[in-house]
């Protein structure tokens, strides 16, 4: 690994540079040093240190310290991951979403195991020649051609809402923001996109967080009826255009966040109005599958177990009620962090664990994609440099997989966050799995069974509470993979495994019935089997309430 740090505006002699390398557990593996070097005033010096390779897959952090006369005067940090390359084609389920994708990270997407990528094509500027820009994206040098050549499946998105930010005067005056000309243009626009893309785009998403936009007076005036009408006009027009050109490519509608589910009684009130307005003009449903607070700058983030799986299942049920397939697309999910959060900080570890658990849960329901929102927000470092953001204050960063920084030449460089190794592990352990089965081993201990493409059984298990010991009797040799991709093998027979908030994966070459029987006999000594309380009702009697926590 090469590591650099630029130091400006400092004159020093006898400077010392040290870089301890630590694994994910915080254990120092080795340390590199450079002693007695100098930097001239107003100059930058690039320091490159090469670390020896490691045979162990995982996530590693490097802390860099510059000291003068024994006193530390500068500290920074970097990170890297070690992975085995994918041996099989990637599963499209593991998707990089349409926000901030970049060809600069294409090798990174492939290494992690992403099998599909989303992209936007905006209609707002209404160019007379609709096709020119889009055609370029499929030609040499175009981003979509690069993604296709790399083996990534494409999912296209067109925003089915007006650009409200440019229509504030109309909104303030209570006037309609859409004209007949725009609606008809959007229909032609969609038809042109579909003709050019053909079967290279597997789904067209005409989705928007209408439940959020309808309640945003600062953006839309907070007029829910107008937002729903705008969505219905544009989504219908897009459906008509897409289907006229490519009738066999599914057009996906909706795209609500959690507001219309978690905070609506009954759930899906706005969704049903929108879908009723669309009529036959959609093939499949998508949601942005949030399940509580995703913004760590606002407060503690909510774990996916809170409501994610039920949100997914209820959306599938909604699809069936409208005569559509019993599946749905998770078009967006992520957690935000402070841009300056340390790579080994507790919040980044928590986001990695929650993301992996989200992917496992999502994998347990019929869903073509889990779309990870904003793999990297590469706009942040330049906004800091140009004075648009203050690096001394918290900065909301949705970039789950990489942090973008500027190198000594002012060019963007990408440093992986812990979620990158979690994504990579999921993409390897859960690629093309089938036959999902949810089971609960004890209160707060979750497990999901899947059948792999090679017919082996995989178990993903974790706890949402304190770590526990899981006692199993393996009927055959069992492989074990940690969240960091570290693998080991357990012999047949009794075994004790520590289960924490970071999921582990077990692989067994045995029938589902045998594996299910093993799980049924598993024990967790620390687990409470029941929970209860009581009170005295009179001198001779008490009342007890006892709940079963075991299943």
Q: In sequence order, what are the residues at sequence separation of 6 or more whose Cβ sits closer than 8 angstroms to the Cβ of residue 18? A: 31, 32, 33, 34, 64, 65, 67
Instruction: Name the 3-class secondary structure at 471.
Output: strand
Q: In sequence order, what are the residues at sequence separation of 6 or more whose Cβ sits closer than 8 angstroms to the Cβ of residue 226? A: 176, 177, 220
The 3 state secondary structure assigned to 298-332 is: CCCCCCHHHCHHHHHHHHHHHHHHCCCCCCEEEEE
Residue written as tokens 């967790």? 524
Topology of domain 94-429 in CATH is TIM Barrel (3.20.20)
Give, for 380, the enclosing helix (H) or strand (E).
helix 380-385
CB 115 within 8 A of CB 92: yes
CB 210 within 8 A of CB 227: yes
CB neighbour class for 246 (10 Å; exposed up to 12, middle 13-18, buried from 19): buried
pLDDT attached to residue 528? 59
| β-strands 337-338, 396-397 pairing | antiparallel
Q: In the chain, which segments carry CATH 2.60.40.1180?
A: 434-530
pLDDT attached to residue 108? 96
Q: What's domain 12-82's architecture?
A: Sandwich (2.60)
For 210-256, the DSSP string reads HHHHTT-HHHHTT-HHHHHHHHHHHHHHHHHHHHHH-TTS-EEEEEE
Give, for 490, the enclosing helix (H) or strand (E).
strand 487-490
Residue written as tokens 């923001």? 177
CATH of domain 434-530: 2.60.40.1180
Q: What is the pLDDT along the chain (551 residues), one digit of tens a residue?
A: 444 444 444 444 567 778 888 999 899 988 888 777 777 777 777 777 777 777 788 999 999 888 887 788 888 899 999 998 888 899 999 999 999 999 999 999 999 999 999 999 999 988 888 899 899 999 999 999 999 999 999 999 999 999 988 888 888 888 889 999 999 999 999 999 999 999 999 999 999 999 999 888 778 877 889 999 999 999 999 999 999 999 999 999 999 999 999 999 999 999 999 999 999 999 999 999 999 999 999 999 999 999 999 999 999 999 999 999 999 999 999 999 999 999 999 999 999 999 999 999 999 999 999 999 999 999 999 999 999 999 999 999 999 999 999 988 899 999 999 999 999 999 999 999 999 999 989 999 999 999 999 999 999 999 999 999 999 999 999 999 999 999 999 999 999 999 999 999 999 999 999 999 999 999 999 775 556 666 656 656 677 776 665 55
Measured CA distances, 342 to 378, 417, 501, 517, 548 (Å):
17, 9, 20, 43, 41
Separation of alpha carbons 310 and 315, rounded Å: 8
Residue written as tokens 């050549």? 149
> ∠ at Cα 373 (371, 376), nearest 5°?
125
CB 398 within 8 A of CB 375: no
pLDDT attached to residue 156? 98
Measured CA distances, 445 to 324, 362, 433, 466, 470 (Å):
34, 17, 22, 10, 10
Number of residues that this document lists for the chain: 551
Q: In the chain, which segments carry CATH 2.60.40.10?
A: 12-82
CB 351 within 8 A of CB 373: no
For 36-61, the DSSP string reads EEEE-TT--------PPP-SS-EEEE
Q: In the chain, which segments carry CATH 3.20.20.80?
A: 94-429
| β-strands 504-508, 457-463 pairing | antiparallel
CB neighbour class for 160 (10 Å; exposed up to 12, middle 13-18, buried from 19): buried
pLDDT attached to residue 136? 95
């Amino acid at each position: 690994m090469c590591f650099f740090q630029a130091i400006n505006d400092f004159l020093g002699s006898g400077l010392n540079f040290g870089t301890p390398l630590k694994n994910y557990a915080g254990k120092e593996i080795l340390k590199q040093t450079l002693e007695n070097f100098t930097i001239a005033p107003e100059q930058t010096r690039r320091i490159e240190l090469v670390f020896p390779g490691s045979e162990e897959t995982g996530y590693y952090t490097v802390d860099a310290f510059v000291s003068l006369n024994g006193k530390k005067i500068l500290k920074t940090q970097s990170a890297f991951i070690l992975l085995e390359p994918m041996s099989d084609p990637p599963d499209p389920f593991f998707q990089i979403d349409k926000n901030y994708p970049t060809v600069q990270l294409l090798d990174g997407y492939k290494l992690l195991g992403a099998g599909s990528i989303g992209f936007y094509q905006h209609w707002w500027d209404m160019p007379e020649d609709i096709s020119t820009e889009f055609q370029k994206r499929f030609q040499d040098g175009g981003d979509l051609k690069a993604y296709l050549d790399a083996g990534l499946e494409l999912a296209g998105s067109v925003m089915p809402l007006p650009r409200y930010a440019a229509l504030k005067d109309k909104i303030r005056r209570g006037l309609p923001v859409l004209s007949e000309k725009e609606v008809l243009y959007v229909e032609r626009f969609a038809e042109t996109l579909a003709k050019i893309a053909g079967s290279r785009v597997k789904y067209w998403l005409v989705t928007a967080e209408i439940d959020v936009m309808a309640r945003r007076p600062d953006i839309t005036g907070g007029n829910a009826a107008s937002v729903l009408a705008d969505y219905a006009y544009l989504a219908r027009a897009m459906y008509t255009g897409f289907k006229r050109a490519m009738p066999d490519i599914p057009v996906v509608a909706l795209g609500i966040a959690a507001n219309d589910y978690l905070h609506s009684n009954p759930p899906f009130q706005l969704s049903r109005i929108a879908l009723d307005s669309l009529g036959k003009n959609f093939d499949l449903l998508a949601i942005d599958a949030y399940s509580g607070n995703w913004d760590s700058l606002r407060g503690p983030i909510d774990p996916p177990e809170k409501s994610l799986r039920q949100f997914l299942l209820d959306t599938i049920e909604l699809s069936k009620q409208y005569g559509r397939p019993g599946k749905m697309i998770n078009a967006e999910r992520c957690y935000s962090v402070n841009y300056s959060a340390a790579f080994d900080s507790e919040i980044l570890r928590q986001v990695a664990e929650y993301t992996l658990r989200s992917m496992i849960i999502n994998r347990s329901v019929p869903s073509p994609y889990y779309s990870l929102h904003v793999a990297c927000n590469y706009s942040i470092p330049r906004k800091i440099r140009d004075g648009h953001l203050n690096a001394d204050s918290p900065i909301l960063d949705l970039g789950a997989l990489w942090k973008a920084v500027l190198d000594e030449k002012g060019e963007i460089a990408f440093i992986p966050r812990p979620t990158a190794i979690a994504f990579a592990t999921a993409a390897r352990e859960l690629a093309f799995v089938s036959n999902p089965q949810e089971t609960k081993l004890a209160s707060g201990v979750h497990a999901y069974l899947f059948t792999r493409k090679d017919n082996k059984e995989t178990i993903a298990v974790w706890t949402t509470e304190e770590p526990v010991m899981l006692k199993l009797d393996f009927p055959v040799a069992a492989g074990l993979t940690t969240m960091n991709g570290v693998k080991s093998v357990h012999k047949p027979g009794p075994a004790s495994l520590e289960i924490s908030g970071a999921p582990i994966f077990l692989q067994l070459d045995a029938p589902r019935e045998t594996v299910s029987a093993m799980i049924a006999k598993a024990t967790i000594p620390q687990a409470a089997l029941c929970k209860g309380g009581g009170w005295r009702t009179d001198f001779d009697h008490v009342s007890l309430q006892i709940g079963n926590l075991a299943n």
